[in-house]
Each structure stands twice: as C-alpha cells, then as structure tokens.
Amino acid sequence: MKPPPSAMAAMTKGVKDILKRGLSAPICLTWEITYGCNLSCIHCLSASGLKDPRELKTRQALELLDTFKEMGIFYVNIGGGEPTIRRDFLEILRHANSIGIGVKFSTNGSFIDDGFARELSGFSYTDVQISIDGPDRQSNDLIRGAGSFDRALKAMDTLQRRNGITFKISAVATRNNVHQLDRFYELADFYRAELRVTRLRPSGRGSQVFADLNPSAEENVALYQWLRAHPDVLTGDSFFHLSPLGTQLAGMNICGAGRVVCLVDPIGDVYACPFTIHETFRAGNISDPGGFREIWKNSELFNSMRKAQGPNSCETCVAYQSCQGGCISTKFFTGTSLDGPDPDCVLGKAKPPSRSDEVPLADLSHSRRVSLKIRSNSTLAN
Ligand code: SF4
Ligand code: SF4
C-alpha cells in the first residue's frame, strides 16, 4: 500500500482560513452523472435508482468537462447512481483523459468485464473505486442487496487479477461493519488495493437509516483509534469530527462545503457538497447564465458559506481548530442547528435536534422502493 498523505494532517490555522474563504476552483469536485442504478443500497446518499429524463446529454457532459479544464480543475470524482450504466461513460472518460483531467469513478462493479477493463487500461488518468459495505457476502448484501458482494468481487478479480489494473475499495463505516475494519483491510491487501473508509451521512436514503446504522460514541472512539493505527487508509477527510479525540486525522479538517468542495448532480444542479442534496444548499444549475464557473465563483449561497464563521456554540471549544463544529450535512438532515456542534460531537456537547418535528426531508424521488426486510435485518449482522 502507498504511504499516507500526511502532508495535509498538520494544516495550520492560516491555511484553513484561506481554504474557508474559497478557491478559484474546487479542490474536490464530485460529478454524479446519473441517478440510474441497478442496486438499491439502503444508505445511498443520492437516493439513486431511477434515471432522470433531464440528465445531461453527451454533448453537455463533454462541454462541462471542458469548463472544468478551463477553470483549472485537474481532478473529478465521478459517481452516481451507477456511472457505468451510461452508454456514453467511456466517451466521457476518453474526453477527460484527452484534455488531461484525472477521474476517479465509484462503481458497484456490476458491469466491469474484461472488455471494459481493457478499455480502462488505455486511460492514464483514471482511477476506479469499488464500493462494498461489508468484507463478506452476508454483511455487505444486507446493505447493498443480494448478489452485490459477489458482483463486486468479480469486478475486483477482473480488474486486478486478470488485467493488472489497481483500484480502491470504498466502504461507509456503519454500526454493522466498524468491527470488521481489519477484514476490509485484509481484503484490500489481497487485491493490492487502497482502502477508503468514509462517514455515513443522513443524506438521500441515508436519512432513513441513519439512526439505525450510525456508529455509537464508543464505536466512533474505536474507529478513530483504528484510523490512527492505519494511516494508509483513505478517508476523504470525512472523520474530522473525530479529531478532537487526540491527534488530528489526515486531511483539511474543515467542512469544505461550498468552499473547496461541491457537487454537480445528474441534471446539472450544483450543490455545496455531495451530501447536501437539498434546495437549501442548491447554488444553481450549469445551464444558468455563466454556467458552472459563475456559480462556483459568485453564487450567493457559496459566497455566504465562505464568509460564515464557525458555529457559535463551538467557538470556545478547546478542539475548535481540529473540528470546527463538524459536518453541515449531518447537522442539517438530523434537524440539528447548523450553529451548534456536530450530532456526533466527541466531547459530548451535541444538542438534541431543534427541529425534530420538521427535519428537512431528503429528495427520494429517484429511489426505487427499498426492501424494509433488508433494513430491519441489518441489525442482525452485529
Ligand atoms: S457538509 Fe459534511 S460531508 Fe459535506 S463537505 Fe462539509 S463536512 Fe464534508
Ligand atoms: S464542541 Fe464543536 S468544535 Fe468542539 S468537538 Fe464538539 S462539535 Fe467539535
């Protein structure tokens, strides 16, 4: 495995202040290219399943890549939905590659066969990330649906063992799998893959299962210790709310929403981050005058997020520099005040939701009906 990206770990207050004021282009841009998906994972952050008839056409998608290039964006995270179900997916990758934009795409692996792997091996700047949520069939399929683990493993075999293509394995940490992290690590080691573990957020269908699947306070402590002991595991900077437990975890350790992070969704709507798909955090649409560039640079929403100070009730916290009040998305979709501590504040300062009777609803309009049987069985894996 590669050495840890530790350079970001000790980011100074001055650098954080610059990042919070926003940059001329996002450091971490996620572009979800379809809401269509063959799976129905119970915690899907974008509540995907059904394609939206308004999804960007091929020409619009390629033009958007050109805009990214002109803005100096050198790297895009592509997701969905399941991006490989788009017929023009390889054309999108080819165009990104030809103009020098690196792509990391997340997939459930269902449609990765030898032909697809051979195409991928021709791209210099393309990185594959295969999502699983358990290191074995039973624990994974409770979250991602029957057959999904076998399909993901087949994709890993196809990529690495038959075609020599490296990839990342990505898992969302939940109450069901935080005690299985060593086994995820072993699986990644077997495939010579990097492991990425990220935080569960209550966005999309995650809003429906957050209370059941979010790790407990004790599990979060164990998770922090495990991440500290495994600095080569990537986290997408998503656990900075755990940094007050001790030494800061690697990453920027700030909420980058609208500052250095944003999301373009399949119909071209631009949100503050991939976990804030809600009208409150929608900054515009790429078809608006000036397009994506104008939204990033001048939208009212992003500018106000860049001017915002940290939550009032966190200002006097001894750990403020390493946590800064935590994740906006997690606060918002649990009905917690954005001006208060993260609901998983490790110093025990979380406040009960102030709007419990009116928690903002996630958009589930692209969702297929998800089996409640899977959901209720999910606790059996503990
Ligand atoms: S809202 Fe949460 S998930 Fe989004 S950038 Fe901020 S910390 Fe990260
Ligand atoms: S009080 Fe606020 S800044 Fe301090 S640890 Fe809790 S969420 Fe983080």
Please name which of 161, 79, 166, 163 lies closest in space to residue 115, comparing C-alpha atoms.
Answer: 163
**Alpha-carbon distances of 348 from 101, 194, 215, 242, rounded to whole Å:** 42, 33, 15, 12
Do 86 and 58 meet the contact criterion of CB atoms below 8 Å apart? no
Q: Which of 126, 124, 86, 80 is nearest to 106 (CA)?
A: 80
| Residue 381 pLDDT greater than 50, yes or no | no
| Separation of CA 115 and ligand 2 centre (Å) | 49
pLDDT-derived band at 222, boundaries 50, 70, 90: very high
Average pLDDT over residues 284-298: 97
Specify whether the CB–CB gap between 367 and 203 falls below 8 A: no
Distance 331 CA to ligand 2 centre (A): 12
Pocket test for ligand 2, best of 199, 336, 347, 351 (most atoms within 8 A of CB): 347
Q: Is the CB of 327 under 6 A from ligand 1?
A: yes
Residue 379 clears pLDDT 60, i.e. is over it: no
In this prediction, residue 21 carries a pLDDT of 66
What's the CA gap between 134 and 114, in Å, rounded? 25
Question: For residues 298 and 279, what is the distance between their CA atoms, to the nearest angstrom?
Answer: 18
Q: Which pLDDT score is estimated for 370?
A: 60
pTM of the predicted model, to two decimals?
0.91
Q: Residue 46: what pLDDT?
A: 93
The pLDDT mean for the chain works out to 90
Contact 206, 329 (CB under 8 A): no
> Closest ligand 2 atom to the C-alpha of 319?
4
Q: Which ligand is nearest to the CA of 311?
A: 2
- Ligand 1 atom 6, closest CA: 255
What is the distance between the alpha carbons of residues 161 and 279, in angstroms, rounded to a whole number?
Answer: 44
Ligand 1 closest atom vs CA 332 = 1
pLDDT at site 250: 85
pLDDT on residue 17? 72
Q: Write the pLDDT tens digit of every residue in 139-164.
A: 999 999 999 999 999 999 999 988 99
Q: In this structure, are strands 126-131 and 168-173 parallel, antiparallel, or unpaired? A: parallel
Q: Single out the residue of 143, 198, 141, 144 nearest to residue 169, CA to CA.
A: 198
- The Cα–Cα gap between 251 and 380 comes to 34
pLDDT at residue 312 is higher than 50: yes
